[in-house]
Structure 1
């Protein structure tokens, strides 16, 4: 390791080419870089989804959008863009680059990009010896020897070059204008933002991470019967019909599907007494802004549970866990559909009442016992 050289780094490129939640889970490590190397400027190289949330992260000074051809977010990638990106990075004259990946991703394509751009310090987890592609590398030990939370994984990575922080919470700053707009929207629906109400997010990009609509309906009906409080559904415009179907016959529920930009969604979640969500971006937003969250957690991977926030993580253990698939290979989604509406209701009520969990949520081991 060349930790001494990192102390002089002023222009640092952080590479996180995945989605919004992945960027949020990298923010504690980015904060560690910012605090440990005084005067440094952080530029994030990310996907268009990651860039959408970057403007709300105070530790990030600049953003570059890149559809990397080695990730599934690169559907619109053009080969010439790679050479153009190398040229852009070279002109920016970065002192260092940190490549954040999950353990199933290969960091070497991004490392080569930085190598060709002449970035002298390049850090990543790596499974094989990268030789000159990385100046600093941490041996990949996952999943054979351990499996860490995604946030801890990235904190451990930057710690290898001397970057640490006492504040390991995720980072997201809610714009004041967005918060005021959301308070107005809630008032227009007859909801007092300071009273008891519940936010629900029934969508997810991957079919394997979607709690069944009929379960959502039962959860909303039971919470309404128990608390007689408003329920506000969030989602994209494409998810509006899903939410409308869930809300059939449920007075006191409201839909803001397709009506909030990302800043307003973050503001709504920050104001909510509790969020019930599939394991998707809004669950990570809740963790970043400190809102208690019921996370309906499909066991597609073990690393993305809510970080440092009151939470209930609900799942059913299955032999086919940790498949990393967007569509259930078995066709049953039992790791998620097996969670009953009554369990979800109890979890939400516990969080609203401030009850401590009976035991810490533990993810099942990587392989069936």
Structure 2
């Protein structure tokens, strides 16, 4: 009689980029055990991303907001999940709160990094030696292996599935020509302004490609709409019709499908950067206060540009300098990005 497939509950991260990188873990789990069943407990916003990961059976919306305890609600969710009879839980965030639901669900094997004193919540607790796993994606994937295991030199990259049936109507509805290449700009960064390349620099790149006959589409959340409008307003008047502001105008799943058709992408270090990489788009990523040595874009056709400055990378949300503020991004000129992009396309 065949054994039942192992059922695994992943407690997913809270940020778009981290959730995309977590797909590398899901792929490895399937490689090691093709019959395993993977469900992911995650914020509701991430369910459309999880639907584009064929390794995931189901996304389960976490009813508790990021950073909130709401112990009773977590306990009730855990009790509800008991009926699934999961064999293992892998907890990706390092917070104590994130490990509560698997314990309440009475999942027998609960795996995760030590984090916030989680000794009584996790029973397969790992001590992270950062030099062994310097990349976030390595720290995710390592939880699929025994403690201290040496990982494969090349980890599988995230690869999101596109709903091809949606693409033509989405392009038409958003005034993007299917017979005309478009450059995708991702100028936002939820982390903070210290990761955002100046709007004038984005506009200079956009103007160059519009002059070459391309369209430009600006992606982002509703919080990025004003930034996108600033980029568009910085273009010469005659070029503005060729620039489409999609920030806050599309659902995340729609943005994935449209972005899959971009001829090239320029992005800050952001969640959409990881989405574009998982769609295998040619992309240049501009780094400011953060570093590609921890969360690089996971793709083969990607170039990273970053200035070496004496004050960085500082990993601050806002630039701490009062004089020569944001020099790591301000002094990184559009010509450098255009040159890097031209080498990819």
In the other structure, the counterpart of 1:49 is 45
Which stretch of the first structure deviates more once superposed, 296-305 or 11-20? Answer: 296-305
* Match in the other structure for 2:317: 326
Counterpart contact for 1:24–1:284, Cα < 8 Å: yes
Query: What is the match of residue 81 of structure 1?
Result: 73
Structure 2, unmatched stretches of 5+, are none
Matched with 2:187 is 202
- Alignment CA distance shift 1:322-1:8 (3 Å): farther
Q: How far is 1:287 from its partner?
A: 1.0
Correspondence for 1:243 among 221, 228, 248:
228
Q: CA deviation at 1:11?
A: 1.6
After TM superposition, the structure 1 stretch with the greater mean CA deviation from structure 2, 335-344 or 153-162, is 153-162
Cα deviation digits, residues 121-170 of structure 1 (max 9, x gap): 1111226986553332332112xx355222222222212279x9987020
TM-score normalised over the length of structure 1: 0.79
- The equivalent of 1:336 in structure 2 is 329
Q: 1:152 to 1:268 in 2, by over 3 A?
A: same
Q: CA deviation at 1:322?
A: 4.8
In structure 1, the partner of 2:342 is: 349
User: How well do the aligned residues superpose, as a CA RMSD in angstroms?
Assistant: 2.9
Q: Deviations over 1:69-98 (max 9, x none)?
A: 7xxx336x6443222223223333211001
Q: How far apart in 2 are the matches of 1:239 and 1:109?
A: 30
CA distance in 2, matches of 1:38, 1:254: 42
- Contact persistence 1:17–1:50 (CA under 8 A): no
Partners in 1 of 2:4 and 2:141 — Cα distance? 20
SS of residue matched to 2:171 = helix
Aligned 8 A contact 2:14 2:43 in 1? yes
Contact 2:185 2:265 (C-alpha < 8 Å) held by counterparts: yes
CA distance in 2, matches of 1:160, 1:96: 14
- Among 82, 105, 110, the alignment partner of 2:98 is 110
Match of 1:215 in 2: 201
> Structure 1, unaligned stretches of length 5 or more?
1-6, 353-369
Structure 1 moving runs of 4+ over 4 Å: 127-132, 164-167
Query: Does the Cα contact within 8 Å between 1:315 and 1:338 map onto a contact in 2?
Result: no
- SS of corresponding position for 2:289: coil
2:19 to 3, 18, 23: 23
CA shift in 2, pair 1:110/1:202, >3 Å: closer
Q: Deviations over 1:159-202 (max 9, x none)?
A: 2279x99870203111123222233346x45x234x43311121
Q: Deviations over 1:268-322 (max 9, x none)?
A: 2211111111111221111111111111122335422111331111222334435
Verify the 8 A CA contact 1:10 1:39 in the aligned structure 2: yes
Change (3 A) 1:321 1:99: farther
Distance change >3 Å, CA 146–CA 10, structure 1 → 2: closer
Tell me if 1:263 matches 2:249: no
For the residues of structure 2 that align with 1:338 and 1:8, how far apart are their CA atoms? 58
**1:51/1:63 contact within 8 Å kept:** yes
Flag the 1:47–1:229 CA change in 2: closer, same or farther, 3 A.
same
- Could you report, residue by residue, the CA deviation over 1:108-128 in whole angstroms, capped at 9, with x for unpaired residues? 443344234311111112269
Residue 179 and residue 167 in structure 1: after superposition, are their counterparts in 2 closer, same or farther (change >3 A)? farther
Matched residue, 1:311: 302
Which one of the candidate residues 137, 142, 151 is aligned to 2:137?
A: 151
